[in-house]
Structure 1
Amino acid sequence: MLGLILGFIVAASLGAFARWGVGHVLPPNYSTLFVNIVGSFLLGFLFIYLQRFSEPLKVMVWVALLGAFTTYSGFALDLVRLLNQGAIKTALLYFIASNGLAVLACYAGWQVANLLERSI
C-alpha cells in the first residue's frame, strides 16, 4: 500500500511539474489549451496501451499523472477572464477549440494505440 501511495505522489508530482513547466513556456490561454489537448491524446493512447497492466497502475497514470497535468479549472478560469474582458468571440472560439480539439486528440491517441497494438 505504501508503494501505491508513493507511486501516486510521484506520478502527480511529475504531472504537476510538467504542467508548471508548460505554463512558463506558453502564455496562459495557450498553455491550458496545450496541456489539455496533449493530456487528452495521452489519455486516449494510454487507455488502450495500458489495458494489460494492473488497475492501480492505470489509475495512477490516468488520475495522478494526467490529472495533475491537465487542467479543467484552468480552462474555466481562462474562459471567464476572456468573458470579463469582453472578448466574447475569442471566448467562444476558445471554448469550441478546447473541447473539440481535446475530444479529437483523445480519439487520435486511442487510434494510434490501436494501430500500434495491431502491428506488434
Structure 2
Amino acid sequence: MQNVIQVFLGGTIGAILRYAIQIVVGTFGMLWIVNVIGSFLLGCLNGYFEKKESKLKLFFTTGMLGTFTTFSTYSESSFNMLIEGPLTGFLFIIGMTLASISAAFLGYFFIRGKKQ
C-alpha cells in the first residue's frame, strides 16, 4: 500500500507541475519542456537509484516524472501536426524523440558516470 501512496502523491505533484508549465508556455512549449527535462531527470534518477536503493524511487520515477512527462499529449499533437503538415509533423516527432532520448542518456551518465 505504501508504494501506491508514493505513486499517487508523486503523480499529483507531476501533473500539477506539467499543467502549470502548460498555462505559462502553451501546449507546444510544454511538450518540449516536460519531455526533455523529464527525460533528463529520469536518466539522473535511474543513475542515482542504480547506485543507491531508496524507498522514494517510485515517488519520483513512476509517480512524479510519470505524470510530468506526457506521451499521450505528445502522440495527439504529433498526429495533428502530421495531418496539418506532414513535414512539420515528421520533424517534430524526430526532434522530440531524439531530444528526449538524448536527455535521458545525458542525465543517466551525468549522475552515474561511465561504467568501469
Task: Classify the TM-score, shorter chain.
Answer: 0.7 to 0.9
Query: Which amino acid in structure 2 is aligned with residue 110 of structure 1?
Result: Y
- Per the TM alignment, residue 92 of structure 1 is displaced from its structure 2 partner at its CA by 0.9
Partner residue, 1:36: 35
Name the SS for the 1:102 alignment partner: helix
Q: Which runs of 5+ in 2 are unaligned?
A: none
- Take 2:44 and 2:99, find their aligned partners in 1: how far apart are those partners? 15
Q: Tell me how far 1:8 sits from its aligned partner.
A: 2.0
**Cα displacement (A) at 1:27:** 2.4
- Counterpart in the other structure of 1:97: 95
Per the alignment, residue 118 of structure 1 pairs with none
Alpha-carbon distance in 1 for matches of 2:17, 2:93: 23
Which residue in the other structure is 2:23 paired with?
Answer: 24
The one-letter code matched in structure 1 to 2:109 is: Q
Give distance in 1, aligned partners of 2:93 and 2:3: 36
CA contact (8 A) 1:41 1:102 kept: yes
TM-score, length-normalised on structure 2?
0.87
CA distance in 2, matches of 1:77, 1:110: 28
Corresponding position of 2:106: 108
Identity over aligned pairs, percent? 27
In the alignment, the residues of structure 1 paired with residue 105 and residue 3 of structure 2 have an alpha-carbon distance, to the nearest angstrom, of 29
CA RMSD of superposed structures (Å): 1.5
Contact 1:44 1:107 in 2 (8 A): yes
Alignment of 1:14-93 (within 5 A): 14-51=13-50, 52-54=52-54, 56-85=55-84, 87-93=85-91
Aligned partner of residue 65 in structure 2, secondary structure: helix
Deviation digits for residues 47-105 of structure 1 (CA, Å, limit 9, x no counterpart): 01123123x522332111111000111111111111222x1111011001110001110
Gaps in structure 1 of 5+ consecutive residues: 116-120
Scaled by the length of structure 1, the TM-score of the pair is: 0.84
Cα contact 1:12–1:64 (8 A) shared by 2: yes
Residues paired across the two proteins, number: 112
CA distance in 1, matches of 2:47, 2:79: 34
